[in-house]
Chains A and B, each alone.
Chain A
Amino acid sequence: MVGLSEGEKHFIRGGIAQDLRADGRRRLQFRSVSVETGVIPQANGSARVRLGATEVIASVKAELGKPSILHPDKGKVSIFVDCSPTAAPMFEGRGSEELSTELSVALQRCLLGGKSGAGAVIDLSSLIVVDGKVCWDLYIDGLVISSDGNLLDALASAIKVALSDTGIPKVNVSLSAATDEEPEVDVSDEEFVQFDTSSVPVIVTLTKVGKDYIVDATSEEESQMSSAVSVSVNRHGKICGLTKRGGAGLDPSVIFDMISVAKHVSQQFLSLLDSEIASAEAAE
């Protein structure tokens, strides 16, 4: 937990009111972002994202599975987040479960769309190998290694980078004569298919401290928040999901204001992330 004295709390709140935060940033300025791809060789795609002192890893693993009976023409994607106790001693044992679930659910809401899979950021029908029989199951795992606030934004950008790094092996299907039989599949080791990740959104969390709101809050600033709104926005400026946290109520007009600010900030963040992805891929 963050232990702050009265003086420190006052300093943080006063700084935010004057548009100069404790680490010298403006209210709508992100910390420095660093991106690395391919950090987990066993996975199909992986990325490490550092946002100041916050560090997260996302990995994407693809396994062959069976599509559900309700949606035989769609693959499956699932997202799980785990908070490592290395990030904070309070995540020891079962201590991280609550936060992990909160983060997983928020990410699922922003990235996976509705129950039917409509509106998901990845085209689920592209994961189908044989209609109704074989599909790819995508497992997206997030791991928080070091935590200094704004975990949701960091995780969402790590997932975006990991998806752009992901290659799904090409599959050759040899159709057997009897249609009831399980089709034989031959997974290629050399050829990979990449996803179109241009529509994968990023999440921008606006944290309200006092009268003003800030982006990319550190854990000290988060301890002073009254409420926070996480908006996920894609490249076309469309809103893909919305989560409000914190107890204090917000006036609807403030929320609309926050959404439009988040939309503006997210476009800058997306371009920043895209250039980081390009340089990370070039470095590999």
Chain B
Amino acid sequence: MRQLKGEIGVVAKADGSALFEMGNTRVIAAVYGPREVQNKGQQVNSKEALVRCEYRMAEFSTGDRRRKPKGDRRSTEISLVIRQTMEASILTHLMPRSQIDIFVQVLQADGGTRSACINAATLALADAGIPMRDIVTSCSAGYLCSTPLLDLNYIEDSAGGPDVTVGILAKMDKVTLLQMDAKLPMDTFENVMELAIEGCKAIANYIREVLLENTKRLECQRG
């Protein structure tokens, strides 16, 4: 696992925000809401809150600078993945007729942006005080040169080995996100997934520490 860093309250105007770093990967998440549904056409079920998510990469986040059109397919797919993962943990039935926006901005990409975004979004949602079932954390693992590896960086990821991204609800021990590319034998897959889940749990512990620290700070401020 690479060095983790979490910071709460980085965007002053947002209801909740957080910065999350996994090694050289650095993302910012901001949460706006719960608020009134802005576009009534998007409301499917008036008994539950509408969760929306947008993932964006900064122009300078990758090694080679290239201009990509906004809303390319990769961003749309990751937005969808994050939205589904976060929706699973938010108690949407408590906030009928409202909308929650999650925006994630990648400042630096060095592999595992998906995981970092989910972890940042969890912190930001907690900062916004949105009721959640559990903390969602995510981590990726791979398999290179017949060794399972935790938390791949960009170079390891581009080596072409399999890459398993797992998201879990830490306390309930439920998997909410599972993605893999390339092929992997069944018994090795189990090992790699075990490793990824262990990574998720370690991140969950770290996120709890950050939240506790933040709550203590808030308590001090209130006196």
Contacts and interface: CB of A to CB of B under 8 A. Distances in A.
B20 interface: no
Contacts of A92: 54, 101, 103
A85 B52 CA distance: 12
Contacts of A46: 60
Interface string B11-43: 111100100000010001110100000100000
A48 to B, nearest CB: 10
Interface residues of B, number: 30
Contact of B105 (A41, A53, A89, A145): A145
A146 B28 CA distance: 11
Given A86-B29, A87-B13, A147-B13, A61 B60 contact: yes
Nearest to A84: B105
B129 interface: no
Contacts of A43: 60
Nearest to B60: A59
A148 B13 contact: yes
Contacts of B13: 53, 87-88, 146-148
DSSP majority for the B interface? loop
B77 to A, nearest CB: 16
B59 A80 contact: yes
A240 interface: no
A276 interface: no
Contacts of B104: 86
Nearest to A61: B65
B54 A143 contact: no
B70 A93 contact: yes
Interface centre among B60, B65, B103 (most CB of A within 10 A): B60
Interface in B48-66: 54, 56, 58-63, 65
A131 interface: no
A19 interface: no
B107 interface: yes
Nearest to B55: A85
A123 interface: no
B103 A86 contact: yes
A80 B60 CA distance: 11
Contacts of A146: 10-14
A250 B112 CA distance: 52
Contact of A57 (B65, B70, B107): B107
Contacts, number: 88
Contacts of A211: none
A148 B56 CA distance: 21
Interface in B101-138: 101, 103-105, 107-108
Given A42-B108, A93-B71, A85 B103 contact: yes
Interface string A36-57: 0001111100100000010101
A53 B58 CA distance: 20
Contact of B60 (A42, A93, A94): A42
A89 B12 contact: no
B14 A143 contact: no
Contacts of B61: 42
A219 to B, nearest CB: 8
Nearest to B62: A42
Interface in B127-164: none
Given A53-B12, A55-B11, A148-B13, A86 B30 contact: yes
Interface in A202-251: none
Contacts of B12: 53, 55, 146, 148
A144 to B, nearest CB: 10
Contacts of B71: 93-94
A85 B102 CA distance: 9
Interface of A: 39-43, 46, 53, 55, 57, 59, 61, 63, 80, 82, 84-89, 92-94, 139, 141, 143, 145-148
Q: Which 3 A-B pairs have the closest CB atoms?
A: A53-B12, A86-B30, A59-B60
24 contacts: A39-B107, A40-B60, A40-B107, A40-B108, A41-B24, A42-B63, A42-B108, A46-B60, A55-B10, A55-B12, A57-B58, A63-B65, A84-B58, A84-B105, A85-B103, A85-B105, A86-B30, A87-B11, A92-B101, A141-B65, A145-B28, A145-B105, A146-B11, A146-B14
Given A84-B28, A93-B54, 7 more contacts: A41-B108, A84-B58, A86-B29, A139-B59, A143-B59, A145-B11, A146-B10
Interface of B: 10-14, 17, 24, 28-30, 32, 38, 54, 56, 58-63, 65, 67, 70-71, 101, 103-105, 107-108
